[in-house]
Structure formats: C-alpha cells, structure tokens
Structure 1
Amino acid sequence: MTLLTLLQTAASDLAAPAPITPAHTSALGDMLHNSGPVAMTVLIVLGLASLLSWTVMISKWRSFGAANTQSKRFLRAFRKSGRLSEISAVAEQFRPSPLVAVFTEINDEYYRQTNGRGLPKNPNGLERAAATASSEALTVMEERVTWLATIANIAPFIGLFGTVMGIIDAFHGLGASGTATLRAVAPGISEALITTAAGIVVAVPAVVGYNHLTSQLRDFAARTDDFGRELLNAIENAAAFQPMNPGAPEERRRQQ
C-alpha cells in the first residue's frame, strides 16, 4: 500500500461523520413512559396490591415472632408454677401469646364450676372452653392473611388483562397504519407484556408469604391444642390431691 493510498484513507475517515452512539436508556423505563392508560392503570393496581401484600407479611411476621417468643416464656412460667392463681396473676405479661387466651378461658370456666376447689363438675365444659379459646385466638392471628392468597391468585390475571388490552391496541394501530411490519408492532407488544411481568412479580412474594404464614398458623394451632390438654390434665391432677371438704379436720378437732 502506497503512502498516497494511506493518506486518502485517513482523509476519508476524517471526512466521514462519526457514528452517533445512542444514549444508554433503560428499555423498561421507555416501556413505562410509553404505556397507555390501560397499562398504567393495571400497573398502579398491581403496585397497590404489592404494597398491601408486603404490609401484611411484615406485620404478621412481627406479630407471629412476638407470639412465638411469649408462648415459650409463658410455657416456662406455667410449668414452673404449681398454682393457677400465680399464673393468672402474671398471664397479662405474655398477652401476645395465644396460649394466654386458652389459659384464661379454661381458668375462668374452672372457677365458675368449682370456685377454685376440687374436680370440675363438667369436664366437657372445660374442653369446649379450651376449643373455643383456641379457635378465637387463631382467628385473630389469621386476620388479613387471606389477602395474600387473594393477591397471589388475581395478580397474574390482572397483568394478563393489561397485556391482552395492550396487544389489542397494538394490532389496532397496526391495522390503522397499514404497515404490517415487525418494527411497527413490536413496541406495542413489548409495552403490553410488561403488565404480565408485573403481575408475576406481585404474585410470587404473596404466594411465598402466604405459605410461610399458613405453616406458622398450623404450628400455633397445634401448640394451643396441646397446651389446652396439658392445662386440663394439670387441673385434674391438682384437684385430685385437694381435700374435698377442707373444713372437716377443723370440725373433728372441735368435736374432740
């Protein structure tokens, strides 16, 4: 290659306009910016659903953690003490625990039947009181958990609705413009598909949170049932060793 050729090549390179490098922009941001009113409405609804699901999950994880900690402490206090009156006096300290509600209901029913002395007159009544207290405590703990199941079920369909409407709008614009090219229809379809992706992003955490919280609720239900039976056994065992008539020894001494 001669020197003249090299100079001509360099001159042509200098004369040619430099290629314009497009600014780096986020494809996701572009799709959000160009989304139509239906897609934006769907995305707002999904955003609110995601906020609700995360609020429920965080609040429940905190309350369940406190309930679990207080349940362990209450069980230790209950097993160390030999008197129902002692446990009743300190039960309010462990109030986040569902076991406290079971204990309070059984203890109140026992005192209504026996005034705190002797065997219960109606053991079935104590068992029903334990079952009722356990059910009510779990019902309180289950509040708002069903929202997670609802969000997990409907979020993908809401996203799919946005996608279908977006594709319909894209093909309608394609038919109106009369240009049947991929370049013409691809932006509209890609903008429509973002709602389906958003629906999946909202649904997956809700499913995981719902399954985790449901597992914890089953554990709490088992523990409340076990504690109810343990408390009933403790009452029966303690009552069996109490004198049926505490005033009898004093009367015998007076007669002597």
Structure 2
Amino acid sequence: MSLLQDSVNTLNQVPQQTVELASTQENLNLIQLLMKGGWIMLPIILLFFLGLVIFIERYITIRNASKREGGLMAQVKTNVLSGRLDAAIAVCKSSNSALSRMLQKGLSRVGRPIKDIEGAIENQGKLEVSKLEKNISILGIIAGIAPMLGFVGTIFGVIQIFRDVEMAGGIDIGSVSGGLYVKMIASASGLTIGILAYIGYHILNMMVERLILRMETDAVEFIDLLDEPGA
C-alpha cells in the first residue's frame, strides 16, 4: 500500500514540475526576450523609437493644423467686401494657421489678375503641405527596413546554429530548435515594427489629404469671394 502511495505522489509531482518550469520560462520580461534576438535587435529597437517619435510629433502637428477656425473666413469675407484689406490681412496674421497664411498671400496680391492670386495661393499651399508632410516618408522607410533587418537577424542565427552543429559533430534537436526560437524573435520584431510603421504612415497621409482637400475648398471660396462684384 505504501509503494502504491509513493507511485501516486511521484506521478503528481511530474505535472507540477512541468508547470513550474513553464512558469519560469514565462517570467522572462519583454526586454530579456527581445535581447535574445541578438545584436540585430538594437537597430530594430532604434527604428521603433524613431518611428514612434515621428508619428506622435506629426500626428499632433497635423491635428493642430486641422482645427477648423470657423470665424476666419467670415471675418476675411466681411473685411474684403467692406474694402478693408489691411484689416483682413491683420485677421490672417493673428490666426497663424496654414489656411490664414494662404489667404494672407492671396490678399497681398489683390489688385492683380485672378490668375496671379490663384498662383500665389497655390504656391503657399504647397509650402504648407510640405511642412505637414515633413518626416512622414521616414515612416515608409522604416516600414520597409525593419522586416528586412529581422530576416537578416534570423539568417545570421541559422548560420550560427549550423556552425555550432558542425563544430559539435552532431545534431542536437534541443539546441537547434532553441536557437531557431531565439532567432525568430528578430523576424517577429522586425515584422511587427514594419506593420506598425506602415499603418502610421498611411494614417498620417490620410490626415494630410483630408486637410489638403479642406484647404483647397477654402481657397476656392476665397477666389470666388474676390470675383464678387462688390469685392
């Protein structure tokens, strides 16, 4: 009876030891896990932080530029129709937004042909758009480079594994599978960062495109205002 009880206790300890081993492996924090990917993880992590900083900075900038100033066009229209161009220009200067700078450039050309005014507004609009798109292309570059760096890390890892196998003179399934597990971290990290950068790149581009459409609409409204008989 005692022998049977000892056998039962031994069987009960095996799953418990397995659970404890799994728990120890799961307790690896994120930094330790990433560092197992090798030296290639350093540039991948740098790309992640670079992309994060660019996305947050551009998102805030574009969001602030997208805030609609409801009274701007109304004040400009009132002053233009009243013949107070200096007051309209002063309103634009006090606003200090992309649209106000475009309108200010157009107001400074009042008295010239409409084509000249349109050209001035269009050129100012291109400058404003270039400011908004600053550094967004870097996110596109990160989206392409990060996955490739991850694959490079995995390839170097596989090369190292086969070199260790050759030096050992035999194949140890445990070491090979463990090495692959470690080196696949680089690929997973690179792909994840690449996907995030790709998403961020397109989010910012969509925000800029919506803002451009609104600026073009307001510019057309301003040109129509100058074409009115009383302007």
Normalising by structure 1, we get a TM-score of 0.76
Contact 2:153 2:187 in 1 (8 A): yes
User: Which structure has the larger Rg over C-alpha atoms?
Assistant: 1
Alignment correspondent of 2:47: 49
* Residue 9 of structure 1, aligned match among 1, 4, 11: 4
Q: How does 1:100-249 map to 2 (within 5 A)?
A: 100-110=100-110, 114=111, 120=112, 122-237=113-228, 240-241=229-230
Contact 1:73 1:94 in 2 (8 A): no
Alignment correspondent of 2:58: 60
Unmatched segments (≥5 aa) in structure 1: 1-5, 115-119, 243-256
Aligned with 1:224: secondary structure?
A: helix
Instruction: Give the aligned CA root-mean-square deviation in angstroms.
Output: 2.7
CA gap of 1:10–1:165, structure 2 versus 1, over 3 A, is same
CA gap of 1:57–1:71, structure 2 versus 1, over 3 A, is farther
Q: For residues 217 and 94 of structure 1, what CA distance do their matches in structure 2 show?
A: 20
CA gap of 1:27–1:167, structure 2 versus 1, over 3 A, is farther
Q: How does 1:78-93 map to 2 (within 5 A)?
A: 78=76, 82=81, 83-93=84-94
Q: What is the aligned length?
A: 221
Contact 2:34 2:41 in 1 (8 A): no
**1:170 Cα offset (Å):** 0.8
CA gap of 1:80–1:60, structure 2 versus 1, over 3 A, is farther
Unmatched segments (≥5 aa) in structure 2: none
CA gap of 1:80–1:44, structure 2 versus 1, over 3 A, is farther
Q: For residues 76 and 108 of structure 1, what CA distance do their matches in structure 2 show?
A: 18
Normalising by structure 2, we get a TM-score of 0.83
**1:92 Cα offset (Å):** 3.2
| Residue-by-residue CA offset, 1:205-251 (whole Å, 9 max, x unaligned) | 111111111111112222222222221221221xx336xxxxxxxxx
CA gap of 1:155–1:32, structure 2 versus 1, over 3 A, is closer
Identity %: 18
Alignment-mate amino acid for residue 241 of structure 1: G
Aligned with 1:143: secondary structure?
A: coil
Q: For residues 25 and 180 of structure 2, what CA distance do their matches in structure 1 show?
A: 19
**1:186 Cα offset (Å):** 0.9
CA gap of 1:71–1:135, structure 2 versus 1, over 3 A, is farther
Alignment correspondent of 1:246: none
**With CA pairs under 8 Å and 6+ residues apart, which has the higher RCO, 1 or 2?**
2
Aligned with 1:91: secondary structure?
A: helix
Alignment-mate amino acid for residue 89 of structure 2: S
Alignment correspondent of 2:24: 24
**1:94 Cα offset (Å):** 2.7
**1:168 Cα offset (Å):** 0.7
